[in-house]
Structure 1
Amino acid sequence: MLKFGQFPVKDASFGVAFSRGIGIILVVWAHIFHGGVHDFIYKFHMPLFFMISGFSVRFFGNNQLSMKAVYRIFAPVFFAVFFLTLPIIFSTELYKYYHSGKLFNFLDDGYRYNFGRPGIGGVYSAYWFIFSLFFIKALSFVFSKMCERDVLLFFVSVFFGALISLFNKEMHSVPRTFIGALYCWQFYVFGVVLVNLDANKYKILAAFFIFFIFDNFLDYSGLDVSAKNFGIPLWSPLFACVVSVLIFRCGLFFKEKLMWVGVVVVYFGSNSLSILLYHQAIHLALINIFEEVNGWLVFLVALCLPLLLPMLAKKMGVGGIFFGIK
Structure 2
Amino acid sequence: MQNYKPESDWVAISKGIAIFSVIAGHIFVGPVSKAIFLFHMPFFFFLSGLLFKPRSQKLLATNKAKTQIIPYVKYLFLFFLVLIIQKELNNTLTYTVFFKDLAKQILGGRWLTHVQSVFWFIPVFFMSQQTLNFMLNNYSMNACKLIIAIMLLLAYIDSIFFKIQLPLNITTVLYTTPIMFVGYIMKGFIDRVNSILLCSLSLLGLFLVESYPSLFSIDLKFAEYGFPLFSFIVSISISILLIKISKTSILNNKYIIFLGNSSMSIMFIHQFFRFDIFSRFLSSNILIFLATLAASVIYSYFMMLLSQKTKAYS
Q: Give the TM-score, by structure 1 length.
A: 0.78
**Runs of 5+ unmatched residues, structure 1:** 322-326
Q: Equivalent residue for 1:134?
A: 126
**1:22-61 to 2 correspondences below 5 Å:** 22-58=17-53
Q: Is the Cα contact below 8 Å between 2:209 and 2:217 reproduced in 1?
A: no
Q: Equivalent residue for 1:195?
A: 187
**Which shows bigger deviation, 237-246 or 211-220?**
211-220
- Asked whether 1:78 is paired with 2:68, we answer no
- Asked whether 1:307 is paired with 2:297, we answer yes
**Which shows bigger deviation, 183-192 or 155-164?**
155-164
Give the secondary-structure state (helix, strand or coil) at the position aligned to 1:167: helix
Q: Equivalent residue for 1:116?
A: 110
Q: Is the Cα contact below 8 Å between 1:88 and 1:110 reproduced in 2?
A: no
Q: Equivalent residue for 1:324?
A: none
Q: Equivalent residue for 1:276?
A: 267
Q: Deviations over 1:117-139 (max 9, x none)?
A: 39xx9995222221112211221
**1:192-231 to 2 correspondences below 5 Å:** 192-197=184-189, 199-203=191-195, 204-219=197-212, 221=214, 225-228=218-221, 229-231=224-226
Q: Is the Cα contact below 8 Å between 1:165 and 1:232 reproduced in 2?
A: no
State the alpha-carbon separation in 2 of the partners of residues 312 and 297 from structure 1.
22
Q: Deviations over 1:93-152 (max 9, x none)?
A: 99564259544544456668x63239xx99952222211122112211222244433x76
Report the alpha carbon displacement of residue 206 of structure 1 after superposing the two structures with TM: 4.4
Q: Is the Cα contact below 8 Å between 1:279 and 1:302 reproduced in 2?
A: yes
Give the secondary-structure state (helix, strand or coil) at the position aligned to 1:98: coil
Q: Deviations over 1:290-325 (max 9, x none)?
A: 35444333322322323333443454458979xxxx
Residue 19 of structure 1: which of 5, 14, 21 is its match? 14
Q: Is the Cα contact below 8 Å between 1:77 and 1:127 reproduced in 2?
A: yes
Q: Which has the higher helix share?
A: 2
Assess, with a 3 A threshold, how the Cα gap between structure 1 residues 116 and 93 changes in structure 2: closer, same or farther.
farther
State the alpha-carbon separation in 2 of the partners of residues 145 and 62 from structure 1.
8
Q: Which amino acid aligns with 2:37?
A: Y
State the alpha-carbon separation in 1 of the partners of residues 89 and 14 from structure 2.
37
Q: Is the Cα contact below 8 Å between 1:165 and 1:231 reproduced in 2?
A: no
**1:260-275 to 2 correspondences below 5 Å:** 262-275=253-266
Q: Equivalent residue for 2:144?
A: 153
Q: Is the Cα contact below 8 Å between 2:114 and 2:275 reproduced in 1?
A: no
State the alpha-carbon separation in 1 of the partners of residues 225 and 89 from structure 2.
29
State the alpha-carbon separation in 2 of the partners of residues 222 and 98 from structure 1.
41
Q: Which amino acid aligns with 1:301?
A: A
Report the alpha carbon displacement of residue 28 of structure 1 after superposing the two structures with TM: 0.7
Q: Which amino acid aligns with 2:288?
A: V
- Paired positions, count: 306
**Runs of 5+ unmatched residues, structure 2:** none
Q: Give the TM-score, by structure 2 length.
A: 0.80
Q: Which amino acid aligns with 2:66?
A: Y
Q: Is the Cα contact below 8 Å between 2:13 and 2:251 reproduced in 1?
A: no
Residue 184 of structure 1: which of 173, 176, 179 is its match? 176
